[in-house]
Amino acid sequence: MPGPAGADSPDADSLVALDGVTKTYQLGGTVTALDDVSASLDAGSYTAVMGPSGSGKSTLLNLVGGLDTADTGTVRVDGVDLGRVSETRRAEKRGTAIGFVFQTFNLMPRLTAVENVALPLVFDGWPQEKRLDRARDVLDDVGLGDRYDHKPAELSGGQRQRVAIARALAPDPSLLLADEPTGNVDTDTGAAIMRLLAEIHERGNTILLVTHARRIAEHAERIVHVRDGRIERVEAVERRRPYDGDDRDGGGPDARTGTGDGGTEDTDTHDGGDTDGHDGGDTDGAPANDPGAGADGSA
């Protein structure tokens, strides 16, 4: 179990290690999305990155997930320096070692649940029957054993997110990345999704979750607070959220950590919409969390 210091003391033995990572964007001027960030995640840990909109959370997740590369510094996942390998190798890594769960689900609308979940296994070279078997098993695990043949439009928001989680888990990744996974579902459904993530963590997966909401971050073992592209501090969560479905008291007076940063209040006035240009619907193109570029849906 990582101590709070784990996040800012990169360690070559960690499952994830960022060292001196800077990422800037040029868009009518220079935007520094991440500024000299160092952090590490031990295998089996559950970490939330929390901060207001625009603080660099998604950029951090995208770098760890190999969707983008740092300007300076290193990002190592499972011993691989993602900035030093080819795009093909990075794609391979994110298809197998890293699972993504996004706020907008990013399911293929024309594919059934089982086909969506089987999709990453195509890139991992599994034969069709085996990948469909595996997809059914993982759907069973997330409680969707009775929805194999439903398309995303025939599923509720929570069910879609479960399919997305199953898809992320199908290749048995060592790391699960979740970007605002409850952002597009109602409160009760969000609580169920957080329970599922807790179960996945208890089974031994390493989870890195990004959220603006303290009540979500408190499900993790520790919270890495980011602001203006920098790690402000790392907090060990002393009273983790109970998985009892009660995620409604986000601004209640019973601040659970006593850290003096607003108790359970969210870090910004995020409106449930999204911060990175998605429109909340399923994608019908090649989604950002697809393990291979240009996926055409042939599961």
| CB nearer ligand ADP, residue 25 or residue 154 | 25
Distance CA 59, CA 227 (A): 12
Q: Do the strands 46-50 and 72-77 form a parallel or antiparallel pair, or are they unpaired?
A: unpaired
Distance CA 63, CA 127 (A): 30
Candidate ranges 24-32, 110-118, 123-131, 188-196; the one touching ligand ADP (CB under 6 A): 24-32
* 157 scored as a contact of ligand ADP (CB under 6 A): no
Q: What's the closest the beta carbon of residue 56 comes to ligand ADP, in angstroms?
A: 4
* 230 scored as a contact of ligand ADP (CB under 6 A): no
Q: What's the closest the beta carbon of residue 70 comes to ligand ADP, in angstroms?
A: 13
* 116 scored as a contact of ligand ADP (CB under 6 A): no
* 263 scored as a contact of ligand ADP (CB under 6 A): no
- H or E element at residue 224: strand 222-227
Residue among 57, 66, 90, 69 at smallest CA distance from 23: 69
Distance CA 51, CA 35 (A): 14
Q: What's the closest the beta carbon of residue 277 comes to ligand ADP, in angstroms?
A: 9
* 11 scored as a contact of ligand ADP (CB under 6 A): no
Chain-centroid distance, C-alpha 174: 13
Rounding to the nearest 10 degrees, give the CA dihedral for residues 116, 121, 127, 128: 0
Residue among 113, 120, 117, 121 at smallest CA distance from 149: 113
Candidate ranges 46-54, 74-82, 95-103, 243-251; the one touching ligand ADP (CB under 6 A): 46-54
| CB nearer ligand ADP, residue 57 or residue 94 | 57
Contact with ligand ADP (CB under 6 A): which of 25, 84, 140, 153? Answer: 25
First to last CA, the chain: 37
| CB nearer ligand ADP, residue 51 or residue 287 | 51
Q: Quick one: DSSP state of residue 242?
A: P
Candidate ranges 56-64, 113-121, 182-190, 259-267; the one touching ligand ADP (CB under 6 A): 56-64
* 45 scored as a contact of ligand ADP (CB under 6 A): no
Tokens of 142: 């997330």
* 76 scored as a contact of ligand ADP (CB under 6 A): no
* 181 scored as a contact of ligand ADP (CB under 6 A): no
* 38 scored as a contact of ligand ADP (CB under 6 A): no
Residues across the chain:
299
Q: Do the strands 80-81 and 72-77 form a parallel or antiparallel pair, or are they unpaired?
A: antiparallel
* 162 scored as a contact of ligand ADP (CB under 6 A): no
CB 158 within 8 A of CB 170: no
Compute the Cα dihedral for 76, 81, 87, 90 and give only its sign.
Answer: negative
Write out the DSSP string of 97-125.
Answer: TEEEEETT----TTS-HHHHHHHHHHHTT
Q: What's the closest the beta carbon of residue 87 comes to ligand ADP, in angstroms?
A: 17
| CB nearer ligand ADP, residue 56 or residue 173 | 56
| CB nearer ligand ADP, residue 171 or residue 183 | 183
Q: What's the closest the beta carbon of residue 89 comes to ligand ADP, in angstroms?
A: 23
* 54 scored as a contact of ligand ADP (CB under 6 A): yes
Interface contacts to ligand ADP, rule CB under 6 A: 25, 27, 31, 33, 51, 53-59, 275-276
